[in-house]
Structure 1
Amino acid sequence: MSSQATDTFDLSGRLILYVGGRHQHVAHLRRLVEERGGGFVHHDGGVEQSMTKLANHLERADAVLFPVGCVSHQAQSKVKDLCRRFEKPFKPLRSTGIGAITQALESLTTN
């Protein structure tokens, strides 16, 4: 897959919820999603934000991404359970790298 193809996908207004990750990456991820026509919401996975707030965000989201190495197992389980309940697609990420995130976002546009 060429980088040009990766750069041209359109999220068509989808709201992406990103759970966990590193705080310093959030602004960059927001820009990445918004530049591709999506909306972005972040939840820290229960570190400082309540898990109730996670459910509220997830109910509004069109899809959820979370880096498995940067979010608690409890938060991962909660995300998976809520996604199944609300029938939302979710993408566990093996890496917080831009390539993994871009690939996950692009895969949402082909489903």
Structure 2
Amino acid sequence: CCGRACDDTCPSFDLCQKRVLIVGGVERMETLYRSFIERGGGELDYHNGSLQGGTRQLEKCLRRADIILCPVNCNSHGACVKVKNLAKKHHKTFYMLPNGSLSTISRLLGGHEGETS
């Protein structure tokens, strides 16, 4: 990132100084997710998508995030529904992705294309 106040002329504008939460995804790829997000000037929060033990930690992460990504092939139906409901409750931008691949995430964050609510 440019290290200054970003505007739409910044090449990292879509990620610059934004906190991205990935719920689920491929756990062994967390380092790659983090590297991609941080190269764009953002910060990654990662939640494994497990709802065992409650949803308090998921909601805490979600409230802090600017953008929430939820790959549906890596999460249970219950986790996807919970992310969607919490994102709506807290008025957060969220994307349900078909998968947790780095190419899917980079295409989305490169231009904010895809499904959002």
TM-score category (smaller protein): 0.7 to 0.9
Tell me the equivalent position of 1:30: 34
What is the match of residue 95 of structure 1? Answer: 99
Does structure 1 retain, via aligned residues, the 8 Å contact 2:51–2:79?
no
| Cα distance between partner residues in 1 of 2:89 and 2:112 | 19
TM-score calculated relative to the size of structure 1: 0.83
CA distance in 1, matches of 2:104, 2:53: 25
CA contact (8 A) 2:18 2:42 kept: yes
- Greater share of helix: 1
Partner of 1:52: 56
Identity across the alignment (%) = 31
> What residue number does 1:4 align with?
none
- Using the TM superposition, give the Cα deviation of residue 50 of structure 1 relative to its aligned residue in structure 2, in angstroms: 4.4
Q: What residue number does 1:83 align with? A: 87
Q: 1:87 & 1:98 partners in 2: Cα distance?
A: 26
CA contact (8 A) 1:45 1:51 kept: no
Q: Distance in 1 between matches of 2:21 and 2:73?
A: 17
Consecutive unaligned residues in structure 2, runs of 5 or more: 1-10
Aligned to 2:109: 105
1:15 Cα deviation after fit = 0.2
User: Is the counterpart of residue 68 in structure 1 residue 53 in structure 2?
Assistant: no
Offset of residue 49 of structure 1: 6.9
What is the root-mean-square deviation in Å for CA atoms of aligned residues? Answer: 1.9
> In the alignment, residue 58 of structure 1 is paired with which amino acid?
L
Distance 1:68 1:58 in 2: 17
Preserved CA contact (<8 Å) 1:19 1:66: yes
Gaps of 5+ in 1: 1-7
- The structure-2 alpha-carbon separation of the partners of 1:104 and 1:9, relative to structure 1 and needing over 3 Å to count, comes to same
* Corresponding pairs, count: 102
Higher RCO (C-alpha 8 Å, min separation 6): 1
